[in-house]
Amino acid sequence: MESLQTIKQRFGIIGNNNQLNVALQKAMRVAPTDISVLVRGESGVGKEAIPKIIHNLSHRKHAKYIAVNCGAIPEGTIDSELFGHEKGSFTGASQTRSGYFEVADGGTIFLDEVGELPLTTQVRLLRVLENGEFLKVGSSKVQKTDVRIVAATNLNMEEAIKKGKFREDLYYRLSTVEIWLPPLRDRADDIHLLFRKFASDFAQKYKMPTVRLDDEAIETLESYEWKGNIRQLRNLTEQISVIEQNRNITRDILMTYLPDYHQNLPAIISEKKPESDFANEREILYKVLFDMRNDITDLKNLTQKLIKEGSENQPPQETTQLLIDKIYGKDSKDVKNNALEIITDAEDDTTYEENPKIVSYDDAETVEETLSLQEKELEMIKQALERNKGKRKLAAKELGISERTLYRKINQYNL
């Protein structure tokens, strides 16, 4: 078996990335067999090199190798292209035609962008994979073929299967062995090597000196995201080689060819628009009112507790001070002064029992929630439950309250 370095030189593969090496080694090991292979990776990573390696290292290397771009063939003619057709089988079929599976008998077919195949064609392909049989369009005669299939896709096949766009049984037949190629952004050490190779090739092609990058330009090149992967890098190198008169490329020059260089930071953009600004403000106001109500209830309970535990000889002013210290702490002077002033004003209007030094809350009137606040609370809970389709956990999270509190409110309002 040929060495990995020999394979790279033979097929023009540049790079020493470990993930790339693993993919190439897997292709070399599977090549002597007839197992179907699925090559996965982003667009532009060089998936077309893998089926060539597999074919040339197999016993089929002297037979035909046909590469088919499934995404480039119209849906109405792809069955005819792959399996052939009989004369008169459809409008324009003036003669019988052999398809790729018939022509490539004994060889290898590379189905690029296999995820774009129509479902009807997927059924035909599954039959070929299972027993090597196919039917020409417009024919009832079963034909046999001995073809090794290597497929490639940049789609998320699991997601395509869930959406019903790709047959699960076909996926498992194609992916007996999967080979994954890493994106260029994960091969930072290989980027400059590829640039130099492309620059040398274009220098020979256009008969001009080779362009070179300075250190800052190299650093910029290696930190770029390369959404188009190797194909994008090759196109950029060709542009620079043809356009730039100065063959020493600086970072500033390189940046003119990378206009979106500073737009690579991840961003989360919500496409869901709020119902209205007023609705958002109203919900926020409701939450604030709920919090205030809870704070008032806690304050009332704490006040009653402190009054009962306090000394009967303690004057109202000292009792109030004790209450404020308990709530706000001893160092919160401004807040305490404001609170003391408010509570003191309230005490001036309080009727005491026989001992004027004791503040009694036994006969104090309990302030209930206003009806309008209850109605708003009920409305908000109803809206949250409707938006979350009755799921209490999600509704409670939206309202900013615990699920237990929401459950209590549901029982309270008989929702």
User: Do residues 181 and 230 touch, judged by C-beta distance below 8 A?
Assistant: no
Pairing state of beta strands 177-180 and 37-40? parallel
Positions of E strands within 224-340: 248-249
Q: DSSP for 169-233?
A: HHHHHHTSEEEE---GGG-HHHHHHHHHHHHHHHHHHHTSPPPEE-HHHHHHHHHS--TTHHHHH
Domain boundaries, the chain: 4-182, 186-263, 277-348, 371-412
Here the tokens at position 231 are: 């194909």
Torsion of Cα atoms, 39 then 59 then 78 then 117, to 10°: -20
Q: How far is CA 54 from the centre of its chain?
A: 32
Helix, strand, coil shares of the chain, percent, nearest 5, are 55, 10, 35
Q: What tens-digit pLDDT sequence spans the chain (415 residues)?
A: 689 999 999 999 999 999 999 999 999 999 999 999 999 999 999 999 999 999 999 999 999 999 999 999 998 899 999 999 999 888 888 899 999 999 999 999 999 999 999 999 999 999 999 999 999 999 999 999 999 999 999 999 999 999 999 999 999 999 999 999 999 999 999 999 999 999 999 999 999 999 999 999 999 999 999 999 999 999 999 999 999 999 999 999 999 999 776 544 444 444 444 444 455 556 666 666 766 777 677 777 766 666 666 545 555 555 556 655 655 555 555 555 555 555 555 445 444 444 444 444 444 444 444 456 677 778 888 888 888 888 888 888 888 888 778 878 887 777 7
186-263 classified as CATH 3.30.429.10: no
Neighbours of 373 (CB within 10 A): 15
| Strand arrangement of the beta sheet that strand 177-180 belongs to | 65-69, 108-112, 148-153, 37-40, 177-180
> What number does CATH give the domain 371-412?
1.10.10
Question: Do 186-263 and 4-182 have the same topology in CATH?
Answer: no
Q: What is the CATH number of domain 4-182?
A: 3.40.50.300
DSSP annotation of 42 reads -
